[in-house]
Structure 1
């Protein structure tokens, strides 16, 4: 079965789904920011339509993507584009911390919900003291509630709010989105009051 052609400046390469799919894609997608759907293989279109309502709209009869068979994915690195397209056609991909973040952005943009959830769960399991504030802000931006809740909980339960203000990521967030800082303190004091109430009851 043919997966998309990847193309740029006249280059074209048919991609065949075989056990070595990831290596084939690496060899052909490098530095490309668009992929072309095989005109012969209608299953390619069906896969995209079923995975993403955004692609479904793009591939409507009167849209440019439907006429040309080319879907442009701007601002995606070759590695991320490879993983994204691979997931669309196989429902499988391998994550690390960096690629999970970038894939979640693409999945959110193109409404590939299962991929977004997969990336979000991965990122949630990797929230730490060092990346909690960045993860909190990122999750808010991309409506990743599970990740946002995990990051916020780690911050308010494990980080001293006095020293928090000295962190560079805190300072950046306070400048870029002070509303999120307010929400963070609201959660902190709510949690503090709840803890005090629990101690009184005991």
Structure 2
């Protein structure tokens, strides 16, 4: 079963500062609906307008007008589209999907969304998500998140480095990252 969502676009937003106009057309994005196992009936359709500059990221949409997205949930893709159209993502979407939004913004090279996700993750580091964020740093090279991890270690150094087994586990899982974090930690301590 498919559901169609129409996004209302103010065409005045297509006017650029230099006087040029973004040319837009309607495109359907087919996303998997995780609740349905039948491959023929499991698409979730989002109708959007696309800037023709996206043809490099979605070459099939230039010809067919349909792009099949199989690497993220429909909610994540809608969050990405929300950002593309408005420049913002709701707090609830960011809280629930930040890591997924970060991954998809990295894949589709949406730098501003990627930075927004990095900043959100950096502001929410705790002992429960620290390892997950280290994995993100290793996979994607997030400098903002890496700096925030150093600050987290500095703020929690007694528990983190001495009492907790977390640092030992982190060293064995991410040896290069822990080396970099330790070097940055020493540099931070030298500033005191």
How would you bin the TM-score normalised by the shorter chain? 0.5 to 0.7
Maintained 8 Å contact 1:36/1:70 = no
Please tell me whether residue 15 in structure 1 is matched to residue 6 in structure 2.
yes
Q: Distance in 1 between matches of 2:144 and 2:96?
A: 18
- Gaps in structure 1 of 5+ consecutive residues: 1-7, 19-27, 39-43, 50-54
Deviation, 1:103, is 0.4
Deviation, 1:150, is 0.8
1:45 match: secondary structure: strand
Q: Distance in 2 between matches of 1:12 and 1:97?
A: 25
Q: Distance in 2 between matches of 1:92 and 1:33?
A: 26
Once the two structures are superposed, what CA deviation does each residue of 1:152-201 show, in whole Å capped at 9, x if it has no partner?
A: 2211342231224x12x852x43433111222232333444x16xx5xxx
Aligned pair in 2 of structure 1 residues 106, 88: CA closer, same or farther (>3 Å)?
A: same
Query: How many residues were matched structurally?
Result: 160
Once the two structures are superposed, what CA deviation does each residue of 1:70-117 show, in whole Å capped at 9, x if it has no partner?
A: 223222122212212232233332133331111011111101111112
| RMSD over aligned Cα atoms | 3.2
Q: Distance in 2 between matches of 1:117 and 1:186?
A: 24
- TM (norm. structure 1) is 0.63
Task: From 184, 189, 193, give the equivalent of 2:186.
Answer: 189
- Gaps in structure 2 of 5+ consecutive residues: 10-29, 34-41
